[in-house]
Amino acid sequence: MDNKKVGLSDTTKAKTEPKTFRRNPIIGTKFTIAISSAKGGVGKSTFASNLALALKKMDLNIGLLDADIYGPSLPKLFSINEKPESDGQKLKPILKYGIQCMSIGFLTEEQTPMIWRGPMVISAIKTFTQKVLWENLDILIIDMPPGTGDTQLTFAQEINMDGVIIISTPQEIALQDVKRGIRMFDKLKVKILGLIDNMSHFVGDDGKKYAIFGEGGVKKTAEEFKKDFIGEIPIDPEVGKQGDLGSPIVESKPDHEISKIYFKFAEKIKSIYL
């Protein structure tokens, strides 16, 4: 009888050990880019929606998949209150602001809690990646949930993702989780396009910069892991206001300084893939 004990490290290794995965493309898309951080509350959904809108304004066909099963944000951010059409086999994305959109939030009531175990989450993700009629997309943006759990592993192991953008705020408590996310994607051999420092600082009425959450942490993390540092997005109350109104700032105020930052990021992404 083998008395060898299995420890936590063995369990982790079994779940994430690099191997040859059968990664499938998402039908109807040319390129797939995930927006992740492994930390909640750092602005992934706001970033994903505004980046998608910026890419769309560059005459690209863009899709936006809200992969956060437990806390979907897309219905609120895009003010979508309808259910997607279905032929009984496939779901048709909802078109809003010229972007093809899909979210579990389109299929449930706004305040309905998703009390699901892992297998049900994985089943939902497979539905969104295999049974949605994405139509001729240049880029599909995926808004990932926090953490390094079932959703992230399903995408990283089974979906042909062309890159991941890591979002974080500068404070160390956020970066601890971000570093775990970076290690996960590196282990699973998913390309990290770079890191974004979101809510990097606030510019007061006096014109001075105030580093509310600390300064330079995201850039230092990028250097530590030898990843590209893509840039900073300062805090601006207008971003949250427009998101709450269901019209993200790139859509409602394309000439705003924050919108211009998103257009620069979009130009970088376009230059990499298209």
Residue 153: what pLDDT?
80
Over residues 86-99, mean pLDDT: 94
Cβ-contact 82, 94 below 8 angstroms: yes
The per-residue pLDDT for range 11-52, each reduced to its tens digit, is 344 444 545 566 888 999 999 999 998 777 788 999 999 999
Cβ-contact 115, 109 below 8 angstroms: no
- Top-level CATH class of 30-273? alpha beta
Residue 114: what pLDDT?
62
Over residues 154-183, mean pLDDT: 89
Cβ-contact 197, 230 below 8 angstroms: no
Over residues 248-269, mean pLDDT: 97
The per-residue pLDDT for range 198-245, each reduced to its tens digit, is 998 888 888 788 888 878 899 999 999 999 999 999 999 999 999 999
Two structure tokens written together for 253: 């105020």
Residue 112: what pLDDT?
63
Side chain identity at 129, as an amino acid letter? T
Residue 110: what pLDDT?
63
Helices 257-273 & 44-56, crossing angle to 10 degrees? 70
Two structure tokens written together for 99: 């972007």
Query: For residues 167 and 10, what is the distance between their CA atoms, to the nearest angstrom?
Result: 29
The closest alpha carbon to 53, from 83, 82, 96, 103, belongs to 96
**Which stretches of the chain are DSSP H helices?**
8-16, 44-56, 74-77, 118-130, 150-158, 172-187, 217-224, 237-244, 249-252, 257-273
Query: For residues 47 and 259, what is the distance between their CA atoms, to the nearest angstrom?
Result: 11
Beta bridge partners of 164: 34, 192
Residue 16: what pLDDT?
47
Least confident of 1-5, 7-11, 150-154, 189-193: 7-11
pLDDT confidence of 274, banded at 50, 70, 90?
confident
Expressed in angstroms, the distance from the first to the final Cα of the chain is 58
Query: What global pTM score does this model have?
Result: 0.88
pLDDT confidence of 7, banded at 50, 70, 90?
very low
Cβ-contact 35, 112 below 8 angstroms: no
Q: Is 60 left (phi over 0), alpha (psi -120 to 50) or beta?
A: beta
